[in-house]
Structure 1
Amino acid sequence: MHTFNAIAKSLGEVTLIALVLGAGLPLIFTIGIRFWSMETVTADGTAPTGARNPAALAVAYLCFAIVILAIGAGILYIAKDFISHSFDVQLFGAKPPKK
Protein backbone atom coordinates (compact mmCIF):
# COMPACT_ATOMS: atom_id res chain seq x y z
CA MET A 1 0.00 0.00 0.00
CA HIS A 2 2.93 2.31 0.72
CA THR A 3 4.14 1.94 -2.87
CA PHE A 4 0.71 2.81 -4.24
CA ASN A 5 0.54 5.96 -2.08
CA ALA A 6 4.02 7.03 -3.16
CA ILE A 7 3.18 6.51 -6.84
CA ALA A 8 -0.15 8.37 -6.48
CA LYS A 9 1.56 11.29 -4.72
CA SER A 10 4.29 11.50 -7.36
CA LEU A 11 1.74 11.31 -10.17
CA GLY A 12 -0.28 14.09 -8.54
CA GLU A 13 2.78 16.32 -8.26
CA VAL A 14 3.77 15.74 -11.87
CA THR A 15 0.21 16.41 -13.04
CA LEU A 16 0.03 19.65 -11.04
CA ILE A 17 3.34 20.92 -12.41
CA ALA A 18 2.30 19.95 -15.94
CA LEU A 19 -0.95 21.90 -15.59
CA VAL A 20 0.75 24.96 -14.12
CA LEU A 21 3.61 25.09 -16.60
CA GLY A 22 1.95 23.42 -19.57
CA ALA A 23 -1.32 25.34 -19.52
CA GLY A 24 -0.69 28.08 -16.96
CA LEU A 25 2.13 29.95 -18.70
CA PRO A 26 0.36 30.09 -22.09
CA LEU A 27 -2.76 31.27 -20.24
CA ILE A 28 -0.84 34.06 -18.50
CA PHE A 29 0.72 35.05 -21.83
CA THR A 30 -2.74 35.11 -23.45
CA ILE A 31 -4.07 37.32 -20.66
CA GLY A 32 -1.11 39.65 -21.23
CA ILE A 33 -1.88 39.84 -24.96
CA ARG A 34 -5.54 40.59 -24.16
CA PHE A 35 -4.67 43.42 -21.79
CA TRP A 36 -2.01 44.71 -24.21
CA SER A 37 -4.69 45.17 -26.90
CA MET A 38 -7.10 47.17 -24.72
CA GLU A 39 -7.57 50.75 -25.86
CA THR A 40 -8.93 53.72 -24.00
CA VAL A 41 -12.42 54.64 -25.20
CA THR A 42 -13.75 58.20 -25.11
CA ALA A 43 -17.26 59.19 -24.01
CA ASP A 44 -18.63 59.06 -27.56
CA GLY A 45 -17.40 55.46 -27.98
CA THR A 46 -14.45 56.12 -30.25
CA ALA A 47 -10.91 55.12 -29.46
CA PRO A 48 -8.21 57.71 -30.03
CA THR A 49 -5.41 56.43 -32.23
CA GLY A 50 -2.66 54.86 -30.15
CA ALA A 51 -4.31 55.57 -26.78
CA ARG A 52 -3.99 52.64 -24.41
CA ASN A 53 -5.31 52.10 -20.93
CA PRO A 54 -2.35 52.53 -18.51
CA ALA A 55 -3.76 50.04 -15.99
CA ALA A 56 -4.24 47.43 -18.72
CA LEU A 57 -0.67 48.01 -19.91
CA ALA A 58 0.62 47.49 -16.37
CA VAL A 59 -1.24 44.16 -16.11
CA ALA A 60 0.11 43.15 -19.54
CA TYR A 61 3.69 43.97 -18.54
CA LEU A 62 3.22 42.01 -15.30
CA CYS A 63 1.96 38.97 -17.22
CA PHE A 64 4.86 39.15 -19.66
CA ALA A 65 7.35 39.51 -16.79
CA ILE A 66 5.94 36.41 -15.06
CA VAL A 67 6.29 34.37 -18.25
CA ILE A 68 9.84 35.62 -18.90
CA LEU A 69 10.89 34.88 -15.30
CA ALA A 70 9.41 31.38 -15.49
CA ILE A 71 11.24 30.67 -18.74
CA GLY A 72 14.50 32.01 -17.31
CA ALA A 73 14.10 29.94 -14.15
CA GLY A 74 13.42 26.84 -16.26
CA ILE A 75 16.54 27.38 -18.34
CA LEU A 76 18.63 27.93 -15.22
CA TYR A 77 17.17 24.81 -13.62
CA ILE A 78 18.03 22.72 -16.66
CA ALA A 79 21.57 24.15 -16.78
CA LYS A 80 22.22 24.08 -13.01
CA ASP A 81 24.79 21.27 -13.20
CA PHE A 82 26.67 22.97 -16.03
CA ILE A 83 26.68 26.28 -14.15
CA SER A 84 27.80 24.55 -10.97
CA HIS A 85 30.64 22.78 -12.76
CA SER A 86 31.77 25.73 -14.90
CA PHE A 87 31.35 28.69 -12.56
CA ASP A 88 31.20 27.05 -9.10
CA VAL A 89 27.79 28.65 -8.47
CA GLN A 90 25.15 26.37 -6.95
CA LEU A 91 21.59 27.10 -8.08
CA PHE A 92 18.45 25.32 -6.86
CA GLY A 93 20.39 23.26 -4.35
CA ALA A 94 22.82 21.75 -6.85
CA LYS A 95 25.54 19.63 -5.31
CA PRO A 96 29.00 21.22 -5.34
CA PRO A 97 31.36 19.72 -7.92
CA LYS A 98 33.64 16.90 -6.82
CA LYS A 99 37.29 17.81 -6.73
Structure 2
Amino acid sequence: MSHFGDWFNYQASLKILLFSMLAGAALPGVFALGLRLHAIGGGQVSIDGGSPHKNPALLAMAWVIYAVVVAVIAFALLYISRDFVAHQIGQPFLGAKPPHK
Protein backbone atom coordinates (compact mmCIF):
# COMPACT_ATOMS: atom_id res chain seq x y z
CA MET A 1 0.00 0.00 0.00
CA SER A 2 1.51 3.33 -1.02
CA HIS A 3 1.22 6.39 1.12
CA PHE A 4 0.70 9.97 -0.04
CA GLY A 5 4.14 10.94 1.28
CA ASP A 6 5.83 8.25 -0.80
CA TRP A 7 5.21 10.05 -4.08
CA PHE A 8 4.46 13.63 -2.99
CA ASN A 9 7.47 15.90 -2.43
CA TYR A 10 6.50 18.28 0.37
CA GLN A 11 9.74 20.25 0.20
CA ALA A 12 9.47 20.93 -3.54
CA SER A 13 5.81 21.85 -3.17
CA LEU A 14 6.63 24.35 -0.44
CA LYS A 15 9.33 25.93 -2.62
CA ILE A 16 6.89 26.23 -5.51
CA LEU A 17 4.24 27.74 -3.24
CA LEU A 18 6.63 30.32 -1.78
CA PHE A 19 8.05 31.30 -5.17
CA SER A 20 4.60 31.62 -6.73
CA MET A 21 3.46 33.83 -3.85
CA LEU A 22 6.56 35.97 -4.24
CA ALA A 23 6.20 36.27 -8.00
CA GLY A 24 2.44 36.64 -7.87
CA ALA A 25 2.31 39.30 -5.16
CA ALA A 26 5.68 40.97 -4.72
CA LEU A 27 6.50 41.66 -8.36
CA PRO A 28 3.15 43.34 -9.13
CA GLY A 29 3.48 45.25 -5.85
CA VAL A 30 6.92 46.55 -6.82
CA PHE A 31 5.57 47.50 -10.26
CA ALA A 32 2.68 49.38 -8.58
CA LEU A 33 5.23 51.24 -6.47
CA GLY A 34 7.01 52.22 -9.69
CA LEU A 35 3.75 53.51 -11.14
CA ARG A 36 3.09 55.58 -8.01
CA LEU A 37 6.61 57.04 -8.04
CA HIS A 38 6.22 57.83 -11.74
CA ALA A 39 2.97 59.67 -11.14
CA ILE A 40 4.37 61.67 -8.23
CA GLY A 41 7.72 62.34 -9.92
CA GLY A 42 6.08 63.37 -13.17
CA GLY A 43 4.05 66.04 -11.42
CA GLN A 44 0.69 64.41 -12.07
CA VAL A 45 -0.09 63.63 -8.41
CA SER A 46 0.72 65.42 -5.19
CA ILE A 47 1.57 63.63 -1.96
CA ASP A 48 0.31 66.30 0.46
CA GLY A 49 -2.66 67.64 -1.51
CA GLY A 50 -0.83 70.77 -2.68
CA SER A 51 0.06 71.60 -6.24
CA PRO A 52 2.09 68.81 -7.84
CA HIS A 53 5.73 69.42 -8.79
CA LYS A 54 8.02 67.34 -10.96
CA ASN A 55 10.70 65.39 -9.13
CA PRO A 56 13.41 63.89 -11.38
CA ALA A 57 14.76 61.68 -8.57
CA LEU A 58 11.39 59.94 -8.17
CA LEU A 59 11.12 59.52 -11.94
CA ALA A 60 14.59 57.93 -12.00
CA MET A 61 13.60 55.57 -9.18
CA ALA A 62 10.45 54.60 -11.08
CA TRP A 63 12.47 53.76 -14.21
CA VAL A 64 14.93 51.70 -12.15
CA ILE A 65 11.99 49.76 -10.71
CA TYR A 66 10.59 49.18 -14.21
CA ALA A 67 14.00 47.91 -15.36
CA VAL A 68 14.24 45.52 -12.40
CA VAL A 69 10.74 44.15 -13.06
CA VAL A 70 11.55 43.58 -16.75
CA ALA A 71 14.88 41.93 -15.84
CA VAL A 72 13.18 39.58 -13.36
CA ILE A 73 10.56 38.60 -15.94
CA ALA A 74 13.21 38.04 -18.64
CA PHE A 75 15.33 35.93 -16.27
CA ALA A 76 12.29 33.88 -15.23
CA LEU A 77 11.39 33.16 -18.86
CA LEU A 78 14.98 32.17 -19.68
CA TYR A 79 15.14 29.98 -16.59
CA ILE A 80 11.89 28.22 -17.47
CA SER A 81 13.12 27.58 -21.02
CA ARG A 82 16.71 26.75 -20.07
CA ASP A 83 16.55 23.15 -21.34
CA PHE A 84 15.25 24.31 -24.71
CA VAL A 85 17.89 27.05 -24.97
CA ALA A 86 20.70 24.66 -23.96
CA HIS A 87 19.50 22.18 -26.59
CA GLN A 88 19.34 24.87 -29.30
CA ILE A 89 22.74 26.45 -28.63
CA GLY A 90 24.50 23.19 -27.71
CA GLN A 91 26.04 24.75 -24.60
CA PRO A 92 25.19 24.63 -20.88
CA PHE A 93 22.71 27.38 -20.01
CA LEU A 94 21.56 28.41 -16.51
CA GLY A 95 22.38 24.96 -15.13
CA ALA A 96 20.83 22.96 -17.96
CA LYS A 97 23.16 20.73 -19.90
CA PRO A 98 22.68 20.16 -23.63
CA PRO A 99 21.89 16.60 -24.74
CA HIS A 100 24.82 14.45 -25.82
CA LYS A 101 25.03 13.80 -29.54
Smaller-chain TM-score range? 0.7 to 0.9
Give the equivalent residue in structure 2 for 1:37. Answer: 39
Question: Tell me, which stretches of 5 or more residues in structure 2 are unaligned?
Answer: none
Q: Which has the higher contact order (CA 8 A, sep 6+)?
A: 1
Question: Tell me, which stretches of 5 or more residues in structure 1 are unaligned?
Answer: none
Deviation at 1:52, TM superposition (A): 2.4
Give the equivalent residue in structure 1 for 2:98. Answer: 96
Task: Compute the RMSD of aligned alpha carbons.
Answer: 2.3
SS in 1 for 2:26: helix
**Residues 1:17 and 2:22 are matched in the alignment:** no
Give 4+ residue runs of structure 1 displaced > 4 Å after superposition: none
Deviates more, 1:7-16 or 1:29-38: 7-16
- Whether contact under 8 Å (2:34, 2:62) holds in the other structure is yes
Deviation at 1:15, TM superposition (A): 2.2
Give the equivalent residue in structure 1 for 2:51. Answer: 46
SS in 2 for 1:91: coil
SS in 2 for 1:55: helix
Deviation at 1:65, TM superposition (A): 1.0
Give the equivalent residue in structure 2 for 1:83. Answer: 85
The separation in 1 between residues aligned to 2:87 and 2:39, in whole angstroms, is 44
SS in 2 for 1:37: helix
* Cα 1:11–1:86 shift into 2, 3 Å: closer
The share of aligned pairs that are identical, in percent, is 33
1:53 partner amino acid? N
TM-score by length of 2: 0.73
1:46 partner amino acid? S
2:95 partner amino acid? G
Equivalent of residue 69 in structure 2, options 47, 50, 67? 67
